[in-house]
Structure 1
């Protein structure tokens, strides 16, 4: 374990930087684990702003540039990732060293060996490269733990451009460690997030804010756990590219076709929003089949009023009755609360009643039975809390017990008791930009349920993939094996449900692999599904479709 702060250098190409970089730097400056000792300011032939601007303008075709400008006009008012910020306001008197690069076959190298000697003087642990192309040569041997650089899955394309215009399911971001041992980069972080198919700049906004978290988080892990932490990170990620190849920037004709297609899709989405509403409903089965069975053919729809949707069903079966705790959202309010739906053994609704409502949105009413008492942890991310409630008169009366966490934005908290500990799974947004609620799964643990001291797992985030991160129901055991339902939100929110087998769960390790999937049945009007729970005699999940609005 390190006791001295890590010595970090930054590679930049100008003093006016985008806000996402500024906040990354500010996080490091205020941290207890790293200090910024040096800034390496890249210098090339295009040293003045006019040259840089001219060079940037030639990077993309006129059609692509126009497409980006129109996209920014439509959606840019809600983004701030690229707001110009002054580097010196964050760094103060930190040394800045101008560095000239020369192009080599293996990458860009520092042309002056005396400069490299000067950099060596700072005894650096890590160099964070936030500008410039891939580096090579002597500089890779300077920091103890390498040069770290981001790479988005693009090839001469704006970040998010191809993912939006081609309506791809995911956008990939890699963080690579370059050193003499890994001149082509060692993967230490990989994230798959959901692109916003409406907007390129919204997608960039999410991608760059997501990017701003990884470097500080890994530096903190390196400080706390030492070099072995980096080695463990490298083992977690498959270095293959399972989700697509690099694509070249389209020529002007192709770019025009993509722009027309993109804005046509935008108009379709506007029309769909006017004419239809999102509608979630409950599906149930009374057949006692293997919980790993994934066919929807055995499910029926639960009758529900037309003026609301029901989603996120959690189930308690008692005395031949089934009690479904659901998120209920009335079409006229747009804010969720928790309702219990009582059915008989045939799935006929006998009664439903609101049981928990707050001034903020509630959903995903996770249930657990502890010492013969039922507890609920609804999603309360809108209040920046993780709230625990106790049932005082089943199933209708609940009282607040405590906040398990505060000042944290979480989604779909799911607890599991295993090996004498409570394990808390949840998606967390660390950006305060409502980003990461689909693709970053965090794990915490505590020996006590009634605790505010939940310990963050050293592998956090344990999953950084929108296709399998977000919880989708109660974690269960079968034949002494642990299974975790999760959402597949690649391409769209709530597309499908994964059943993952957990193969390692301890204070130092976490691992799982996909076993099977519950896919929607589009032929029967089920376009998506994202919560799955069952008892010995009843199984429930939710379904999604678009419901036409009534204007009269």
Structure 2
């Protein structure tokens, strides 16, 4: 049984991630929450830059309708903490009072202290718990505190923003336990909201595994003091934000009133294997005005080769599933095969026990839906559902050489699915038994987590296509990953091929591939 203490500051806002994590901790049989340490550090006066940036963050949250991640009240009032002893540790108190509080904490003989304040800890003895103090750092230093999460990465146009789970050591040093990598949004308010919420996923993953931090002390580094943004950084950010806002507003007006298309996804069909073929030779399939086409899947039977894809309406912003027949490099008439009053995409197709199934993305309907084919290609009936009330994106079904069946799915925070890959072992597509992978989420990395098409065989290896969502660009590039290990206890993959704008100048973006034995189909934003 792990004896756990948590470090809070009741003066800070009470975040949703803190509530969720407390809920999870209360349900873990291997963790016993012993004490709440209410840690008050010395507060510094806010500078004029701080105040301006706080105002800017509020303006963005109102302008972009960003959901708040604050809860009403104080974390110390949480029902999960009502019966837990509280100890106040205030740096303004005299040394005898501080020493007495620290001595009282030691009486709980804690195994681990988890920091819920998300700020550098430099004034607490790490020996308060056997495994030390675990804390979270958001983004690149010096903005390690959640207050300015990811700001420096936005200003410096970094491809991703890191979140570090660290173990605090004496003398202002820390050991890296694990690290995740996240999408860089164009708005500070949006970026900060996502990063703060995502941090709890990494922390919860390691608490759930009852990780022994001592076995992971591979990288040690100094803890820097957290500082606010400089005047220069503030000016750079404000120019960047309002320039981006103006460009987005112009594109929105041009699309609505003049019918222009920006970042229009189209399809490409090629022969052979993508890794050994120049994708520039693939045949482009350009959608008609008012639409973009993406997420293509091929299906071949005795009657022909069918191409299923997401057909997105640029006016109502809702996708449907359409299909056409492929004859050589020519497509036939396009017909709609699955239309709902909510968004559909990623029409994953597979065969199980002689029946044809489709698993479209139905995250807008807050569940996973599987459809069975009644008549190819345009008659489908709902077969089963799962994950009720939970948004699930880009589900991919896979059967390994041992006959075990798996679902690879993407989950996220606030309907943002680029960062997390989850795996489940299932009995069949009836989904009567769904067993989560013990390392879920097996990947937390915007550069390679999100599914980008069905897993396919290449020789003796299985390849999982994944999206590279770097540089704040959805669909910046495409990865091909060899699956090295797959069991309920382990998952390991290795990137063996990449498609990016740097490596393939025709593509401005690409984020999907379906590779068959003799052909491939992908989507891309091209210069065509």
Give the TM-score band, short-chain normalised: 0.7 to 0.9
TM-score by length of 1: 0.83
Q: What is the CA distance between 1:389 and its match in structure 2?
A: 1.3
Q: What is the CA distance between 1:444 and its match in structure 2?
A: 0.8
Is the 8 Å Cα contact of residues 154 and 247 (structure 1) preserved in structure 2?
no
Supply the distance in 2 between the matched residues of 1:254 and 1:459 (Cα, whole angstroms).
38
Supply the distance in 2 between the matched residues of 1:41 and 1:294 (Cα, whole angstroms).
60
Q: What is the CA distance between 1:405 and its match in structure 2?
A: 3.2
Supply the distance in 1 between the matched residues of 2:238 and 2:290 (Cα, whole angstroms).
38
Is the 8 Å Cα contact of residues 380 and 387 (structure 1) preserved in structure 2?
yes
Is the 8 Å Cα contact of residues 303 and 348 (structure 1) preserved in structure 2?
no
Where in structure 2 are the equivalents of 1:61-460 lying within 5 Å?
62-63=48-49, 65-76=51-62, 77-82=65-70, 85-90=73-78, 91-101=81-91, 112-131=98-117, 132-135=119-122, 139-157=125-143, 158-178=148-168, 184-197=173-186, 199-222=187-210, 227=211, 234=216, 239=219, 251-253=230-232, 255-276=234-255, 277=261, 278-285=263-270, 287-288=271-272, 290-293=273-276, 295-318=278-301, 321-345=304-328, 347-418=329-400, 419-429=402-412, 431=413, 433-435=414-416, 437-460=417-440
Supply the distance in 2 between the matched residues of 1:71 and 1:279 (Cα, whole angstroms).
30
What are the superposed Cα offsets for residues 389-447 of structure 1, whole Å, 9 maximum, x if unpaired? 11122222212111143232111001110122111111112x4x224x00111111124
Is the 8 Å Cα contact of residues 365 and 376 (structure 1) preserved in structure 2?
yes
RMSD: 3.2
Q: 1:122/1:203 Cα in 2 relative to 1: closer, same or farther (>3 Å)?
A: same
Q: What is the CA distance between 1:329 and its match in structure 2?
A: 1.7
Q: 1:523/1:423 Cα in 2 relative to 1: closer, same or farther (>3 Å)?
A: closer
Match in the other structure for 2:7: 11
Supply the distance in 2 between the matched residues of 1:294 and 1:469 (Cα, whole angstroms).
25
Q: What is the CA distance between 1:473 and its match in structure 2?
A: 0.6
Supply the distance in 1 between the matched residues of 2:333 and 2:225 (Cα, whole angstroms).
54
Is the 8 Å Cα contact of residues 446 and 454 (structure 1) preserved in structure 2?
yes
* Comparing 76-85 and 308-317, the one that deviates more: 76-85
Match in the other structure for 1:105: none
Q: 1:129/1:111 Cα in 2 relative to 1: closer, same or farther (>3 Å)?
A: farther
Unaligned ranges ≥5, structure 2? 256-260
Supply the distance in 1 between the matched residues of 2:24 and 2:123 (Cα, whole angstroms).
25
Match in the other structure for 2:258: none
Unaligned ranges ≥5, structure 1? 47-51, 103-108, 548-552
Residue 487 in structure 1 maps to residue 476 in structure 2? no
Is the 8 Å Cα contact of residues 205 and 439 (structure 2) preserved in structure 1?
no
Select 1:472's aligned residue among 442, 448, 452.
452
* Comparing 84-93 and 169-178, the one that deviates more: 84-93
Q: What is the CA distance between 1:82 and its match in structure 2?
A: 4.0
Supply the distance in 1 between the matched residues of 2:422 and 2:74 (Cα, whole angstroms).
33
Is the 8 Å Cα contact of residues 36 and 94 (structure 1) preserved in structure 2?
yes
Q: 1:185/1:494 Cα in 2 relative to 1: closer, same or farther (>3 Å)?
A: same
TM-score by length of 2: 0.86
